[in-house]
A and B are shown apart, each in its own frame.
Chain A
Amino acid sequence: MTTFRSMRFWGSVHRRNKRKGFAEIGAGFGCLGAMVLIIFLVPVGMAQERDAPKAVVVQPGAPGMPTKTLPTSTKGTLPPKSRADVEFMQGMIFHHSQAVEMTAMIPTHSQNKNLRELGARISSSQSDEINFMKRWLAARGESVPTTMPDMPGMMMSSSGSMPLMPGMLSPEQMEALRKAKGAEFDRLFLVGMIQHHNGALTMVKDLFDTAGSGQDAELFNFATDADNTQRAEIRIMQGMLANQHKEEKQ
């Protein structure tokens, strides 16, 4: 805090000194000196301003076409909104909350150090992304699905045939994961999370195959990054799974 205050202070003092310095020079020269200074400085100053051309706002045309000059008062506009964008975000919150639920089992179900690290990483990125998606929806006045960290399993099983988002683990798969321990848990977790992440990739593909969707910059960036992050995590999990398989054979 102190540093901050002194920095800010420094800035303002610095600026003030500059102005003050100028005044002092004038005073030192006396009235005549000041007038001379003004005569000399003002035209120079004006000339400098003329040298720097006024900023323009332009909009190029298609290749080979001329560029338009826009009024300097031009402000930015956004592309139209898409319902598919909103539904994607709402669905992905639901999808991600299962990943968080799965990683929450790791501490009590596995001693595998690598899996614990991976779990922490997935948990961190997915809960962060859930938060991001909620903000995205709320900032646009859209309804934000509630995540129920303690309940989703129950909710699933009570719903029976209700289809899940792509890749989500079935209530039976979640139950099997919950019951497993040690190496079996590790395997089920990895297989399950790979399936889960692949589902997210499907959701992203469906989004971009819908007309007019994904034009919102934040959503586009988020969907693309989530897609990339999950691909990378899938690869890491496949490596871990392959290692585990090798170890079991030995």
Chain B
Amino acid sequence: MNRVSRMVLSVGAALIICFAVSRMQAQAAQPAPQQEQAQTPANPPAAGDAKDSKKEAQDGGDGNPFAPEPAPALPPGMTGSDVNDPRYKLSPGLYDAGETSEGMKHLELVKKPEAFELGSADADNPKVQKTIAQLGMPPAMLAKMPKEIQLVIAQLAFANSDLAFEGNHLFQGNFYGINIFDISDPANTKLLTSMVCPGGQGDVSVYKNLLFMSVEMPNGRLDCGTEGFPPEPMPTEPDKSAENGAKDNSGAKDAGKPQDSANDKAKPEQRRPRLPAAQKDRFRGVRIFDISDIQNPRQVAAVQTCRGSHTHTLVVDPNDKDNVYIYVSGTSFVRQSEELAGCSGEKPDKDPNTSLFRIDVIKVPLAAPQDAKIVSNPRVFMNARTGEINGLNNGGTHGKPGSEKPRDTDQCHDITVYSAIGLAAGACEGNGIILDIKDPVHPQRVDAVNDPNYSYWHSATFSNDGSKVVFTDEWGGGLGARCRPNDPNKWGADAIFRLHDDKLTFENYYKMPAAQSDTENCVAHNGSLIPVPGRDIEVQAWYQGGVSVMDFTDPAKPYEIAYFDRGPIDPKMLVLGGDWSAYWYNGYIYGSEIARGLDVFELTPSKFLTQNEIDAAKTVQLNELNVQDQPKIEWPAKLVVAKAYLDQLTRSQALPANRIEALQKAIENAESSHMNKGKVAKLRKMAPSLEKSAASAKDQADSMRIHGLADVLKRLQAPA
């Protein structure tokens, strides 16, 4: 074994000892860090190591490891993000960052509950102190582990994730469990229940008394325990090698170092006995809770899957009242068959029953949710003609000697089902796909697209009429800064497609336009429709790029109509944060802020959106919202809906001014007369002539607005 790997291992061993010692709380008080380190026998190598890394930093030109990497130059022909936007240079802070917004108002931030934050029991841990020292924090901070440090050490372990809604309850997923809030007064949202149950990433759905949760990580346990599973034991090396290793390294050429660790890694079997990785108590899949008592959710089922569940989608079959279905998208490694029988990570040519290249469908009997189980594993990437299960992007005709075999799309990241039109849109690794889900247990792929600017197909949203689909590209996985001035605006963006006869046609990209700093993770992420009649509007989260509201009524010309943004959590290093999802639910926008908590917003009128349009959106009230089980929006026959259409027709000058005025007048009369029979009748009579005008409207959007207006007027009822 070479000297550096010895050093690495023994420093590791030394630090584990420190860790154990500090965990045992051997130190009575909290002495200064140097003193404390002196008390622990294993610390000299750690201190030496710290010095070395500083030296390395200088020698190697790498600098502070926490310093962000500058963005590479913009590729030729590409456009970057806008540096003149007020969102570019907001002041940093966890809870006191600068904020700016247009067209929306931030009502409140409900901070993340304490049970979902890392305990500060490790404040004395020398590793923590080393980190604090590296970050250049003042000694006063050493007394207590500051929240920023908790975030650096465990950025994701306690990250907030997706949202689901039911009645006055909001369910916020977290890598550590689920938090349930009372949103009966959205501006005064209250925490009801913190449910501890780790396993990431905690994607949530809700259906009546059942709450569903995705688990994918290896620390997930059937019993919701937080302890995870024991790792390979530490190698038993004599302590002195630690000192030698550290000493040797201090004078060694840095060049030898990475290579040594490579050597070390390449021969794991010589270094230690292998523990079996399989664990019968591990849980990766979809948990089902009974939430009849909202403050005492009970786990009723835990359906194991081979790749766990990164996301899942609730599917409510309009023709099946007894069951609901769950589409499971697993994106991580296939577990060993020793742990879950039948799991196989082999390529399809080796094993036709491979767990790759499929999604899993769980059937949940509503009367007996404890009997939920997998009922099919649809091969949604199959080539229907040849029967190959790796039928997407099987581009391997080059076959030159030495070249690798082709790689294919083998997973979906997220699926949005739109049962009202019998279709689903899957964002599946290297492809966007459309599935026919009329038989929900056996979805059939009807189209697939790819895109040269896409890195990773992440999620999808249909327009309400099903004629468009917005896909997202999560370039960099959400951990990276991808909205810097030099990051192309076609990368990590939305891609908007037209959908006609089950075929997708690309129209344009949309990326939140403002440049962000290099310490803000930013890329396209989860959003939902805002039900403004007559327009296709989506509110979307961009992590630390904030929340952006986008109009894609014309899919070739998407544009931003509102936004909210905060400055970075930290100015010197990228600390993971920002909004994971931003969804509209019954009149408000809720943002799930990864590090900070839960954001609540309200839209405000602007030149892009009138109060009538906002109020019309608020007429749509749902009992439940799982965004990936997309509901068909229908607007009630209310005057404000007509007024919203009329505002839009005024904006686009789709009707002559005198006709608009006449319609406005008639609506005002009906309103001020409290829907007097005669006034309502007069309004209804205006519908037929509107329908005639619709035919001569200058574009399809206006034609649909005029139709929409006529439809509302026709349906108007005077109170009995």
Contact = CB atoms under 8 A, between A and B. Distances in A.
Interface of A: 1, 3-5, 7-8, 52-53, 55-67, 69-70, 72-84, 86-88, 90-91, 93-94, 97, 113-114, 116-117, 120-121, 123-125, 127-132, 134-135, 137-148, 151, 154-156, 159, 162-165, 168, 187, 191, 194-195, 198, 204-206, 208-218, 220-222, 224-229, 231-236, 238-239, 241-242, 244-245
A238 B264 contact: no
B391 interface: no
Contacts of B7: 143
Contact of B69 (A127, A138, A146): A127
B438 to A, nearest CB: 30
A217 B159 contact: yes
A82 B272 CA distance: 13
A241 B403 contact: yes
Contacts of B193: 55-58
A238 to B, nearest CB: 5
B499 interface: no
B68 A58 contact: no
Contact of B395 (A130, A141, A215, A242): A242
A108 to B, nearest CB: 14
Interface stretch (B374-382, B476-484, B527-535, B639-647): B476-484
B231 A65 contact: no
A81 B268 CA distance: 18
B455 interface: yes
Interface in B292-307: 295-302
B224 interface: yes
Nearest to B480: A128
Given A138-B65, A194-B403, A217 B156 contact: yes
B259 A218 contact: no
Given A135-B66, A221-B156, A244-B398, 7 more contacts: A7-B101, A57-B193, A72-B115, A77-B119, A146-B56, A211-B229, A228-B331
B195 A58 contact: yes
Given A59-B196, A220-B200, A221-B479, A140 B115 contact: no
A138 B132 CA distance: 10
A238 B393 CA distance: 9
Contacts of A244: 398
Contacts of B53: 138, 143-144
A61 B98 contact: no
A212 B197 contact: no
A63 B258 contact: no
Contacts of B276: 211
B333 interface: yes
A62 B222 contact: yes
Q: Which of B52, B98, B218, B289 has the largest count of A CB atoms less than 10 A from its CB?
A: B218
Given A138-B53, A141-B127, A162 B259 contact: yes
Nearest to A125: B476
Interface in B1-30: 7-9, 11-12, 15-16
Nearest to B228: A79
Given A90-B258, A117-B75, A198-B404, A138 B131 contact: yes
The 10 closest A-B CB pairs, nearest first, are A79-B228, A212-B231, A225-B477, A141-B127, A75-B119, A4-B98, A211-B275, A82-B231, A146-B60, A217-B156
A64 B370 contact: yes
Q: Which of B53, B66, B119 has the largest count of A CB atoms less than 10 A from its CB?
A: B53
20 contacts: A8-B98, A57-B115, A58-B296, A60-B197, A75-B115, A79-B227, A80-B227, A80-B229, A121-B75, A124-B72, A128-B69, A141-B130, A144-B56, A144-B65, A205-B333, A211-B230, A211-B276, A212-B230, A217-B159, A218-B479
A148 B259 contact: no
B493 to A, nearest CB: 13
Interface stretch (B147-155, B505-513, B626-634): B147-155
B241 interface: no
Nearest to B278: A211
B142 interface: no
A83 B234 contact: yes
B217 to A, nearest CB: 5
A60 B234 CA distance: 32
A75 B231 contact: no
Contact of B223 (A65, A134, A208): A65
Contact of A238 (B227, B266, B396, B411): B396
B277 interface: yes
Contact of A146 (B117, B127, B258): B258
A241 B196 CA distance: 49
B360 interface: no
Contact of B218 (A91, A163, A215): A215
Contacts of B113: 55, 57
Nearest to A84: B232
A229 B261 contact: no
Contacts of B295: 53, 56, 58
A202 B3 CA distance: 26
A204 to B, nearest CB: 7
Given A62-B222, A128-B481, A86 B12 contact: yes
B100 A7 contact: yes
Contacts of A66: 298
A215 B217 contact: yes
B85 to A, nearest CB: 10
B393 A146 contact: no
Q: Which of A52, A130, A222 has the largest count of B CB atoms less than 10 A from its CB?
A: A52
B523 to A, nearest CB: 11
Given A75-B117, A205-B333, A163 B66 contact: no
Given A79-B228, A90-B8, A4 B49 contact: no
A151 B345 CA distance: 37
B196 A4 contact: no
A4 B182 contact: no
B99 interface: yes
B398 A145 contact: no
Nearest to B89: A1
Given A140-B127, A141-B46, A159-B259, A79 B226 contact: yes
A232 B297 contact: no
A1 B262 CA distance: 47
B578 to A, nearest CB: 15
A129 B55 CA distance: 22
Interface in B478-520: 478-481, 487, 491
Contacts of A220: 200, 216-218, 332
Nearest to B402: A191
A104 B444 CA distance: 43
Interface in B40-89: 46, 49, 52-53, 56-57, 59-60, 62, 65-66, 68-69, 71-73, 75-77, 86, 89
B257 A145 contact: yes
Contacts of A194: 403-404
B310 to A, nearest CB: 8
Contact of A213 (B59, B231, B345): B231
Contacts of B300: 63-64
Contacts of B585: none
A80 B101 CA distance: 42
B265 A91 contact: yes
Given A60-B297, A216-B157, A234-B404, A147 B395 contact: no
B192 interface: yes
A63 B196 contact: no
Contact of B491 (A94, A121, A211): A121
A73 B261 CA distance: 42
A243 B653 CA distance: 49
B107 to A, nearest CB: 11
